[in-house]
Amino acid sequence: MRRILLVLTFVAVAVSAFADIFDRPAEVNLVVDNAEAFTRKHAEALRAKLDSFERATTVQIQIYTTKDLWGYDIVDFAQRLGEGWGVGKEGANNGIVIVYKPKTLTEDGEVTIQTGYGIEPLIPDAVCKQIIESEMIPRFQQGLIYKGIDQAVDVCISLTKGEYTSEKYMADKAKIDYIAKAIAQAIILFLVIIPGCLFVIFFIIALCLGVFKGDTISSGSGSSGGSSHRSYHVSSHRSYGGGHFGGGGARGRW
């Protein structure tokens, strides 16, 4: 009986804690780092940036890191968090929720950006996806979690403030991708193709010189009995306002 009571107590505590996740906190904390992804200095820097942005615009950007999604899909988790906490100003629905779950030995890392109804026109789903793939995941893969999230926040701030449009952001990223591919192709050209061509030219010149000197091929139709053959190989290797969320956003894995 005692064991049963202990189990029931544990279950009750777990259920209570689980239910509390999506209950609106009494105070605003725009950086909740349950996964301990940031240093104290980085968390404070992010929090100061987001608090200042909220005061200037009323837009709330909520950062939430967690090691456990409690069985939820990360998108569903972020939407429930944004809706339950009321991220964004009521009526304006101008909240953004970024949820980050770290990569482990057995599970992929996951991240999502979810936008309130009022933010969706400024940061469409395709742009959220581009932010995740361009600003966040490449840095996460290098272990630069703070830099990835901080850069994503900067882009969201610029887009919501109207410093540039989502169309310009996508166009700029397309240009950057094009330049990056061109640079990669140029590197391949100079490191693989051109050296290979030079080697072939050198080989042909050496072969021709050998013919004229009579080193490898005799003047007759047959080959010299003492001639040798070589093979060549080339290799290449504040209080929360009550904002609402309706499914706008994107997700990513690494």
Whichever domain contains 49, its CATH number is: 3.10.310.50
d(CA 28, CA 90): 15
Determine, yes or no, domain membership for 14: no
Determine, yes or no, domain membership for 188: no
Residue 115 in tokens: 């936008």
The pLDDT of 198-204, averaged and rounded, is: 70
Residue 7 in tokens: 């189990």
Residue 208 has pLDDT above 80, yes or no: no
Nearest to 99 by CA among 125, 133, 61, 126: 61
Residue 169, pLDDT score: 85
Residue 182, pLDDT score: 60
Domain that holds residue 39: 23-165+241-253
Nearest to 77 by CA among 122, 112, 118, 42: 112
pLDDT band at 2 (very low <50, low <70, confident <90, very high): low
Residue 151, pLDDT score: 97
Contact present, 122 and 156 (Cβ < 8 Å): no
Residue 10 has pLDDT above 60, yes or no: no
Mean pLDDT score across all residues of the chain: 80
Number of other residues whose CB lies within 10 A of the CB of residue 127: 24
Determine, yes or no, domain membership for 233: no
Long-range contacts of range 190-194, CB-CB < 8 Å, 24 or more positions apart?
Answer: 192/236
More confident residue, 175 or 205: 205
Residue 225 has pLDDT above 90, yes or no: no
Q: How far is CA 104 from CA 79, 108, 137, in A?
A: 23, 6, 15
Residue 77, pLDDT score: 97
Determine, yes or no, domain membership for 207: no
Q: 203: which residues sit within 8 A by CB, 6+ positions away?
A: 232
Q: For the chain, how many structural domains are there in total? A: 1
Determine, yes or no, domain membership for 142: yes
More confident residue, 116 or 12: 116
Residue 248 has pLDDT above 90, yes or no: no
pLDDT tens-digit series, residues 79-135: 999 999 999 998 999 999 999 999 999 999 999 999 999 999 999 999 999 999 999
Nearest to 159 by CA among 133, 184, 126, 201: 126
Of all residues in the chain, the percent with pLDDT exceeding 70 is 68
Residue 108, pLDDT score: 94
pLDDT tens-digit series, residues 44-73: 999 999 999 999 999 999 999 999 999 999
Residue 212 has pLDDT above 90, yes or no: no
